[in-house]
Chain A
């Protein structure tokens, strides 16, 4: 008879979790440090959160990041869903294999190269670097993630549901919105969330494609850290971690309730 995990399993799980989360826990703990020094614990305080909200530069960067993330994720989701439909439903068209391969290329492309090539493109077509170039760049590299998520879902989607909708009198576009979309919605939402988080994360591509006045939060943090780690950075990172964790929990609860 087995009673839960063995000692060996327990130790493995403990070590694995420690490996993943120790740095994050440290960061969270130090965000509540009353001392400015990063490595000396001087007591609990929320003063860094107060100065953080007073720091216009950081707040502007956060706002910029959220806007870039939301907008680029939305663009990537629309294009990614369309690409997934073309790949799954398009039947056999010339260059299908090439197209499906090309959609996935950004998944394995080094970020530096993606960033550099986008920069070259924007310069070549004379597009001034700023908010929109970052949005476009992020939409470009997150699109393939959306496509992968939605494609998997579409492949298992029963095509006759769409046919039934058409048979009952809805034109193809309406059948898509009334039947297909609600049924692939979890994958679409998941794809959007993934694209949003990837955009939030990104430092390299944003560095290549942003211009003056479009500094994102990772860029701001990175440049701030080069001048020395400030507890404010710990505080904003803690807030980011908290909101991502909350989003994941909400998503899980909603899904669990839907299938219950």
Chain B
């Protein structure tokens, strides 16, 4: 199989038919009144995997996680952990720990006692608890704050306490519910990398729920994209970004330009399409037969923009006019009007500090993309 996106060493148990998943959802459904929060979801998560459930709010991802923790009961289907059916096992007996979105730090206990809580419930010996708490606080770099009360901590510190507390019992599976949502951007980015390091170091399985695609992409080995209670696509960050299953996934993860088109002819691996008054020449192994109605989707950063017309015979050239410019420092996003009220988004890395002739509003420009830049989607 072709490797796309960033690939972490050779860790890919999901491609190995011999490996046994740690967690298995089998046809799990959960309804709240008339609303189906989770609709016939089947999913496997492997040991040592960092798995992300990604989707907009209300897509059922949190409900799915809460069923794993035991706070909700599935109406249909089965959830197993390490081969054991979890049905009927109350939350306090599951070998799973959760880091709550609100962090849920006990306000009446200091940092040490918060981290020690789960160990104390387990009946662990006092000296062992003390050692473990110290180990955990060192792990999240809070050694000096053990005696602090929660209200004396910053947001980032609270997040670390919550993490240390959830890790203290060394659960088989750690659930993280929007763990970074409350942090500011800079801190969030730092914490993302720390989380991945921690997960590899501890060799634990992490399941994260998030609505933030960047977070899911940075953290996870695999992502399941959810919408309306169903899993739309499961794959590595590279797969879901570069080979989205449908328009929904394509548009949810990052930006996407979508052209409605019809397949004119197919000569694998190449295909010719036409639509919106344009001709396209694309490379896609899975292009449907001639005559099919398709959606050609191209990411903004895979398009080029220039003031001069590209050399003749360059495929996929669209002429237009700059409608708006978004300068982000590292990137610049151009909105190019290619037909009345029809705009495409082109992103360019600002690799140099000076440009001879910067592009400006209302400039006539040419947008182009390579045949293998686009993905042909059928739905």
* CB-contacts of A43-68 with B (<8 A): none
A175: chain B residues within 8 A (beta carbon) = 92
State A183–B90 Cα separation when bound (angstroms).
24
Per DSSP, are chain A's interface residues mostly helix, strand or loop, or mixed? Answer: helix
Whether a CB of chain A sits under 8 angstroms from the CB of B118 is: yes
Q: Which of B71, B102, B117 contacts A168 (CB 8 A)?
A: B117
Q: Which of B97, B102, B166, B169 contacts A158 (CB 8 A)?
A: B102
A168: chain B residues within 8 A (beta carbon) = 92, 97, 117-118, 121, 165, 169
Whether a CB of chain B sits under 8 angstroms from the CB of A6 is: no
State A165–B106 Cα separation when bound (angstroms).
9
State A174–B120 Cα separation when bound (angstroms).
12
State A244–B106 Cα separation when bound (angstroms).
33
Write the A155-191 contact mask toward B (1 if CB under 8 angstroms, else 0): 0001011011111111110110011001100000000
Q: Does B107 lie within 8 Å of A167, measured CB to CB?
A: no
Whether a CB of chain A sits under 8 angstroms from the CB of B46 is: no
B64 CB, min distance to chain A CBs, angstroms: 16
Say whether, besides A169-B121, A169-B122, A164 and B98 are in contact (CB < 8 Å): yes
Q: Which of B97, B108, B122 contacts A167 (CB 8 A)?
A: B97
Residues of B that sit less than 8 Å from A by CB: 69-71, 90-93, 96-98, 100-102, 104, 106-108, 117-118, 121-122, 165-166, 169
B108: chain A residues within 8 A (beta carbon) = 179, 182-183
12 A-B residue pairs with Cβ-Cβ distance under 8 Å, sorted by A, are: A160-B101, A161-B106, A161-B107, A164-B104, A166-B70, A166-B92, A167-B166, A169-B169, A171-B90, A178-B117, A179-B106, A183-B108
A179: chain B residues within 8 A (beta carbon) = 106, 108
Q: Which residue of B lies closest to A174 (CB)?
A: B121
Q: Which residue of B lies closest to A183 (CB)?
A: B108
Q: Does A161 lie within 8 Å of B104, measured CB to CB?
A: yes
B153 CB, min distance to chain A CBs, angstroms: 16
B41 CB, min distance to chain A CBs, angstroms: 22
Give the size range of A's interface with the partner.
10 to 19
B100: chain A residues within 8 A (beta carbon) = 160, 163-164
* CB-contacts of A124-183 with B (<8 A): 158, 160-161, 163-172, 174-175, 178-179, 182-183
Q: Does A163 lie within 8 Å of B106, measured CB to CB?
A: no
A170: chain B residues within 8 A (beta carbon) = 92, 121
State A171–B166 Cα separation when bound (angstroms).
17
B126 CB, min distance to chain A CBs, angstroms: 16
B117: chain A residues within 8 A (beta carbon) = 165, 168, 178
State A108–B157 Cα separation when bound (angstroms).
48
A178 CB, min distance to chain B CBs, angstroms: 8
State A165–B71 Cα separation when bound (angstroms).
12
Say whether, besides A160-B102, A183-B107, A183-B108, A167 and B121 are in contact (CB < 8 Å): no
State A182–B70 Cα separation when bound (angstroms).
24
A174: chain B residues within 8 A (beta carbon) = 121
Excluding A168-B165, A169-B169, A171-B90, 10 further A-B contacts by CB distance (< 8 Å) are A160-B101, A161-B104, A163-B71, A165-B121, A167-B69, A167-B96, A168-B169, A170-B121, A179-B106, A183-B108
